[in-house]
Amino acid sequence: MQFIYETDRLRLEILPREQGWAVCRFYEENRNFLEPFEPKRPDNFYTKEFHSTNLACEHRGFLNLSHIRYWLFCRDEPANAIPIGSICFNSIQRGAFQKCAVGYKLSQTSCHQGYMLEALSFLIPRILDELKLHRIEAFVQPDNTPSLRLLAKLGFREEGYLSSYAEINGQWTDHLLYSYINPIDK
C-alpha cells in the first residue's frame, strides 16, 4: 500500500500527526452533520492534540497493515487543505477469515458528487490484492439510503440485519450487514 494515491478527482493520503489540525478542522466544520451518525465523542475530541495523537496511531496501524485510513482531498487542492472525507479499513482479521470492515464519511458539502464511489472503487481492489483479503464487510444503518445505494453500486450484497448493533450518538441502533467478496475467490 502506498501513502498517497491519486484518482481522476481525488488525492487519497495517509496523514502524518502534523496534519492533526486539518483533521480537527474537518470534524469541527462537519460537527452537526456527522455527530448524529457517529459514536459519542470524548470531551477532547475537537482538539488538534486529540487528532495528532490519533493520526500517529493510524500511521502505526498503516505500517503494520492492521488499520488503514485514507483521508480524501480534492486533487487540485493544495497540500495544506482540509480533507473532504475519509475511508477506513479496520478490524483486519487473518487466519480462516481474511477479512476487514470498511467505514467512510464525507463532509456535508462533498456528498452526492460521486467522490466516495470514486475513492472506494479505487481502493477496494488494492486492499483485497495487497492484503490478500477474501471479504470486506460494511455495517450501515437501515435508513442511510445514500450509503445503501453506494454499496449496491460497488457490488456489496446485503447479508443480514443486526439488532441493536452499535451505539451511535448515545443510542443503540440497528444496522444492516453488507459484504463484498474478492472476485478472484469466487
In this prediction the pTM is 0.95
**In whole numbers, what is the pLDDT of the chain averaged over residues?**
96
29 Cβ neighbours under 8 A, 6+ residues apart: 82, 107
Question: Are residues 150 and 117 in contact, defined by beta-carbon separation less than 8 angstroms?
Answer: yes
Task: Locate 141 and state its grid cell.
Answer: 444503518
Mean local confidence (pLDDT), 47-71: 96
pLDDT at residue 184 in the model: 87
Question: Is there a contact between 176 and 170 (Cβ–Cβ < 8 Å)?
Answer: no
Q: What is the pLDDT of residues 119-170, one digit of tens each?
A: 999 999 999 999 999 999 999 999 999 999 999 999 999 999 999 999 999 9
Domain of residue 170, residue span: 4-185
> Span 176-184, mean pLDDT?
96
| Radius of gyration of the chain from its Cα atoms, rounded to whole angstroms | 16
User: Is residue 71 pLDDT above 80, yes or no?
Assistant: yes
When divided into structural domains, the chain yields a total of 1
Strands (E), 42-84: 68-74
Rounded to the nearest 10 degrees, the angle between the axes of helix 145-154 and helix 115-130 is: 50
Secondary element (H or E) of residue 26: helix 20-29
Where residue 128 sits, what CATH number does that domain have?
3.40.630.30
- Whether residue 62 is predicted with pLDDT greater than 90 in this model: the reply is yes
For residues 172 and 164, the answer to whether their CB atoms sit within 8 Å is yes
Looking at residue 66, its pLDDT comes to 93
